[in-house]
Amino acid sequence: MAPPIKLPKHITDLPAYTPIEPFEVLSARINRPPDKIIKLDANENPFGMSPRAREALADLRFAHIYPDPESRALRSALANFCAVPADNLLAGAGADELIDLVMRVTLEKGDVILNCPPTFGMYRFDGDLNGATVVDIFRKPDFSLDLPALLQAAEEFQPKLIFLTSPNNPDGSLITREVIERILELPALVVLDEAYIEFASPSDLGRSASLIQQVARRDNLIVLRTFSKLAGLAGLRVGYGAFPGWMMQVLWKAKQPYNVNVAASVAAIAALKDESYLLNTVAILVAERQRMLVELAKFGFLSPFPSESNFILCTVTGRNALELKERLANDHGIFIRYFNKPGLTDCIRISVGTPEQNDLLLATLREIVK
Ligand SMILES: Cc1ncc(COP(=O)(O)O)c(C=O)c1O
């Protein structure tokens, strides 16, 4: 049926929606109960939330009351956790919501954003959705940024926003401080997505690796973070960002009033109170990452990239990567991510699981290649 009104061109031009299969549908499709599925395809935290977060959810008393639009309790807990003034912090329904919000308050149709693929897909998605012109500056084969190309594009296109991801998804590499400093000299707003930063310096939960404390001192740096990876709360949708002071008043005006729901908020606060749980689970995941890097490299057909995150990207040679992914899923209930696009030909990305899940993946791979 044709729409009775004319839709904006940038909306009709969006790529078609590709549905993501929820857990229960996956489980029914491969005829395996959900607890027999090993989901290593979305960089979720296999340990799930802290027991304290679970208790806080069980005790939730005010779900019938709208949440605090300013998420004051959560922002105050975050101010302690990150040592950033609460006045510079905003919570969102995942970092995803904040990526869109930043674009909505800064861009007019046709404004340019610089994107550095291969990277997280939401910058392009939200850029297209917001009618921006998204200019891709491809990373080098080792996934480091092509700084000269980026500086030249900045000169040529005068972007309003530059999206940087450190550690980068899908490879897990960090951007060096020097490179970020150079980019911050540009007359653009730099959005540094640190969704996985806690895995880059696990002994202090990302504090030494993060640039979040720089935000209050700069006028063009935004740092985004999330509870999805660190705290096992991906399904509750809660993330946060640190923003320069001038931007906060703009964001308060534009954000949806009740963007962080009460369940997400109490679970996130409880998760932050249980720092020993976070330290312990992140330490296990990082130790497992290191073990998996070594073990995966032993399969001659896999070349893993070093990672500072909770996933490992591998190029696959001499075997069909798609077929490998399909066999793991359909025959063994192990889900990994497959990529085949510019900069990511024949690649798989494996999220780090629990030690048992990783053992099972390795045993299954050995079985498959026998
Ligand atoms: C780099 C990066 N940023 C942000 C997100 C989304 O975070 P959230 O779950 O808080 O929306 C992801 C999720 O995969 C990601 O990889």
The Å distance, Cα 1 to ligand 1 centre, comes to 35
Please report, rounded to a whole number, the percentage of residues in the chain having pLDDT higher than 90. Answer: 93
Chain region(s) in the chain for CATH 3.90.1150.10: 9-48+276-369
Question: Given this model, what pLDDT does residue 284 score?
Answer: 98
169 CB near ligand 1 (under 6 Å): yes
CATH code for the part of the protein at 51-274: 3.40.640.10
Mean pLDDT of 34-46: 94
Cα 267 to ligand 1 centre (Å): 18
- Name, in order, each residue with C-beta under 8 angstroms of 150's C-beta and a sequence gap of 6 or more: 114, 116, 137, 162, 183
Q: Write a three-state SS string for 336-347.
A: CEEEEECCEEEE
Contact by Cβ (8 Å): 205, 283: no
Domain with CATH 3.40.640.10 in the chain: 51-274
> pLDDT category, 22, cuts 50, 70, 90?
confident
Provide mean pLDDT across the span 349-370. Answer: 96
Q: What is the pLDDT of residues 293-340, one digit of tens each?
A: 999 999 999 999 999 999 999 999 999 999 999 999 999 999 999 999
| Nearest ligand 1 atom, CA 43 | 14
Whole-prediction pTM value? 0.97
Cα 226 to ligand 1 centre (Å):
7
Per-residue pLDDT, 26: 84
Q: Which atom of ligand 1 is nearest to the CA of 229?
A: 9
Predicted confidence (pLDDT) per residue in 178-214, tens digit: 999 999 999 999 999 999 999 999 999 999 999 999 9
* Mean predicted lDDT score pLDDT of the chain: 96
Position in ligand 1 atom list of the atom nearest CA 96: 11
Q: Which helix H or strand E contains 246, and what residues bound it?
A: helix 245-254
Nearest to 92 by CA among 268, 249, 221: 268
Whether 165 lines ligand 1, by a CB cut-off of 6 Å, is yes
CB atoms within 10 A of CB 102: 27
CATH class of domain segment(s) 9-48+276-369 = alpha beta
- Considering only CA atoms, which residue is closest to atom 7 of ligand 1? 95
